[in-house]
C-alpha cells in the first residue's frame, strides 16, 4: 500500500512548476500520504538529496516562477547501474511512487523507474509546448505572455524609428510560442520550423506594407529555424528595412506564472496523485479539449506534438 510519494522537477525550469509541486503535495497530504521532495531531478535522486515536505513548505509557492526543487539535466540516468542507485535511495527513504515534472527527457527517466517497479507519473512542465497528447504544457502560457510583453515594447520602438524587428523566441523545434505571440502581437510574419518560408516573399510583404504606409514591422522567429541575426542578415539582402534583431532568450522561462498556468499545474498535480493512488504508473498527464487525460509514456515517445498551424495562416491573413 502506497504511503510515501516523491516529487521532482527535471530539465529546463518552467513557470508553474512550483504550483504543480504544491498541488501534488497538498493533494497527497489530504489523502493521508507522506510527501518527499527530491532536489535537482534525477541527479538529486541518485545523490539522495531528498527531504520531507509538509503543508507549510509549499505555502505561497503557487505564485513563484522557477522551481523550489531546483533542476538539473542528468543524461547519466540512461544507464541501468545509475538507475539502480536511484532506486536504492527510494528504498532508503521508503518512497513508493513518484511524480516527475518536466519534458521529454524527464519522461524517459520516469518510465525507467516504473519499469523497475516504482510507479511514476509525468507532468508536462516545459515552456516549449512540444509534448504530444496535451494541448498545453505547464509554463507555456506564461512564456507566451513574456514574449508578448517584449514584442509590445519593441513595437513602440519599431514605430518610433520606422524599423523592422526580427524577434527570436524560444521553443526548441516547436513553433507554438512564436505563433501565439505573433498573433497576439500583431506581427507582420512568423517563421517556424513546422512551415516552409520564402525569404523573398517575406521581403515582398514588407515592401508592400511600406507602400501602403506601414513603415514598421515585427517578424517573430522561432529559435528552431535559425538565429535572429542570421535571419536579419539574409532579409537585408532584399531591401533596406532598417532591420534590428532581438533574441529574448531565457527571460521567457522566468517570472510569476499566469493564472492559466497556475490552474493547469494545480489540476494536473492533483490528478497525478489520483493516478498513483489507483496503482498506475508509466503515464503522462495532459489536457485535451479542456479535459484531463493520461497516456502511456511509450506512446509519447513515438508521437509528435500537433501544433495549431492555423495560427500561422492567421498571421498571414491579418498582416495585410
Task: Report the catalytic residues.
Answer: 128
107 is in an annotated binding site: no
66 is in an annotated binding site: no
Instruction: Say what angle helices 176-184 and 140-161 make with each other, to 10 degrees.
Output: 50
Question: Strand, coil or helix: what is 125?
Answer: strand
152 is in an annotated binding site: no
Task: Give me the phi and psi of 165, to 5 degrees please.
Answer: -105, 130
307 is in an annotated binding site: no
126 is in an annotated binding site: yes
4 is in an annotated binding site: no
The strand pair at 217-222 and 189-191 is best described as parallel
The contacts found for 262-267 with CB under 8 angstroms, 24 or more apart, are 262/16, 262/19, 262/62, 262/63, 264/16, 264/136, 264/138, 264/141, 265/16, 265/17, 265/19, 265/20, 265/23, 265/123, 265/125, 265/138, 266/19, 266/20, 266/22, 266/23, 266/62, 267/23, 267/292
CB-based contact 119:156 (threshold 8 Å): no
Report the alpha-carbon distance of residue 88 to residue 271 in Å, rounded: 27
17 is in an annotated binding site: no
251 is in an annotated binding site: yes
213 is in an annotated binding site: no
Cell numbers for 250, please give them: 531565457
210 is in an annotated binding site: no
223 is in an annotated binding site: yes
212 is in an annotated binding site: yes
Cell numbers for 293, please give them: 487525460
Binding residue numbers for ADP: 22-26, 212
Binding residue numbers for ATP: 12, 73-74, 103-106
Binding residue numbers for substrate: 126-128, 163, 170-172, 223, 244, 250-253
Binding residue numbers for Mg(2+): 104
Binding residue numbers: 12, 22-26, 73-74, 103-106, 126-128, 163, 170-172, 212, 223, 244, 250-253
Amino acid at each position: 500500500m502506497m504511503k510515501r510519494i516523491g516529487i521532482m522537477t527535471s530539465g529546463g525550469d518552467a513557470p508553474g512548476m512550483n504550483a504543480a509541486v504544491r498541488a501534488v503535495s497538498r493533494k497527497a497530504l489530504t489523502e493521508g500520504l507522506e510527501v518527499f521532495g527530491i532536489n535537482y531531478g534525477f541527479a538529486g535522486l541518485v545523490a539522495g538529496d531528498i527531504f520531507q515536505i509538509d503543508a507549510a513548505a509549499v505555502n505561497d509557492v503557487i505564485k513563484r516562477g522557477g522551481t523550489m526543487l531546483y533542476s538539473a539535466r542528468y543524461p547519466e540516468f540512461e544507464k541501468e547501474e545509475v538507475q539502480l542507485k536511484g532506486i536504492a535511495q527510494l528504498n532508503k527513504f521508503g518512497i513508493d511512487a513518484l511524480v516527475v515534472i518536466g519534458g521529454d527527457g524527464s519522461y524517459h527517466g520516469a518510465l525507467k523507474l516504473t519499469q523497475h517497479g516504482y510507479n511514476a507519473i509525468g507532468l508536462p512542465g516545459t515552456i516549449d509546448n512540444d509534448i504530444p497528447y496535451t494541448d498545453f504544457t505547464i509554463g507555456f502560457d506564461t512564456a507566451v505572455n513574456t514574449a508578448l510583453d517584449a514584442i509590445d515594447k519593441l513595437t513602440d520602438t519599431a514605430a518610433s524609428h520606422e524599423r523592422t524587428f526580427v524577434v527570436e523566441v524560444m521553443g526548441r523545434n516547436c513553433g507554438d510560442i512564436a505563433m501565439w505571440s505573433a498573433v497576439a502581437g500583431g506581427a507582420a510574419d512568423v517563421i517556424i520550423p513546422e512551415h516552409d518560408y520564402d525569404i523573398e516573399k517575406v521581403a515582398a510583404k514588407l515592401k508592400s506594407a511600406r507602400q501602403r504606409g506601414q513603415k514598421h514591422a515585427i517578424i517573430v522567429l522561432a529559435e528552431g529555424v535559425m538565429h535572429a541575426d542570421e535571419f536579419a542578415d539574409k532579409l537585408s539582402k532584399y531591401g533596406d528595412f532598417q532591420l534590428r534583431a532581438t533574441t529574448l532568450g531565457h527571460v521567457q522561462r522566468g517570472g510569476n506564472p499566469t493564472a492559466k498556468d497556475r490552474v493547469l499545474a494545480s489540476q494536473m498535480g492533483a490528478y497525478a496523485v489520483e493516478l498513483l493512488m489507483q496503482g498506475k504508473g508509466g503515464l503522462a498527464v495532459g489536457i485535451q479539449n479542456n479535459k484531463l487525460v493520461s497516456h502511456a509514456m511509450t506512446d509519447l515517445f513515438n508521437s509528435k506534438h500537433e501544433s495549431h498551424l492555423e495560427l500561422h495562416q492567421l498571421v498571414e491573413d491579418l498582416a495585410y
